[in-house]
Homo-oligomer: A and B are copies of this chain.
Amino acid sequence: MVQDPGSLRDVLIEAGIALLEEGGMQALTLRQTAARAGVSHAAPAHHFDGLPGLLTAMAARAFKLFADAIHSGREAGGTDPLQRLLGTTEGYLTFASQHAGLFHLMFISPQVNRADPVLGPHATRAYQILREACQPFGDGTPDEALELAVWSMVHGYALLGFTAEDPERHPFHRRPAFRELLVQLLAGRQIPVINRLAPAPDIR
């Protein structure tokens, strides 16, 4: 039986993603992935050279989707710099909550090789988008401190959302919207657009 070359690879990646989204990291297994793709139990290891290889390939695809998500979030923000940045972070958070498994893979799993030549460029692209959205709030030159502050805050906010499972007990779930937090961060910046501080249209 002959398939177009590389076909099973993609089938396996998608089978893995399906398992991950259904049952979390626990359910993502080489053998289960093989079973779902309808091949023998050792086929995935053959294509990806072991579990870390499969996870890395999945994470690479995840980073591409992630970069797309924050890109379209930024575009939805229109032309106003603040709305663009808010849209970008909105895309970040939406992706994190809708694809918790992939997010975990990208940023947490120690088995993923983040220096992978396929994964790397997608990750860099995602960072560039965030970076550019921060640009107007710097003093003209790229402001690494601001970028990292925004990045840390949105990343931490996303991850605290996972940790705080119980809405009743955990302070995180009496949370103010992230928009407010980001505005707090930008409040020290000397740019006029902040002062307009519009009640935000809901981006998604």
Which A residues contact B (CB, under 8 angstroms)?
24-26, 107-108, 110, 114-115, 120, 127, 144-149, 151-160, 163, 165-166, 169, 171-172, 174-176, 180-181, 183-188, 190, 194-195, 197-198, 200-201, 203-204
Contacts and interface: CB of A to CB of B under 8 A. Distances in A.
A181 B186 CA distance: 11
B110 A169 contact: no
Given A153-B156, A156-B151, A176 B107 contact: no
Nearest to A106: B163
B169 A187 contact: no
Majority DSSP secondary structure for residues of A touching B: helix
Contacts of A148: 157, 160, 171-172, 175-176, 181
Contacts of A180: 145
Q: Of A110, A184, A194, which is in contact with the most chain B CB atoms at under 10 Å from its CB?
A: A184
* Copies per complex of this chain: 2
Given A184-B146, A201-B187, A110 B153 contact: no
Given A114-B165, A154-B156, 20 more contacts: A108-B108, A108-B163, A127-B171, A144-B174, A144-B176, A145-B181, A148-B172, A148-B176, A149-B153, A149-B181, A149-B184, A152-B156, A152-B157, A153-B185, A156-B156, A156-B158, A156-B159, A187-B187, A187-B201, A188-B200
A24 B181 CA distance: 33
A145 B26 contact: no
B187 A203 contact: yes
B203 A194 contact: yes
Contact of A171 (B144, B190, B197): B144
A25 B110 contact: yes
B160 A151 contact: yes
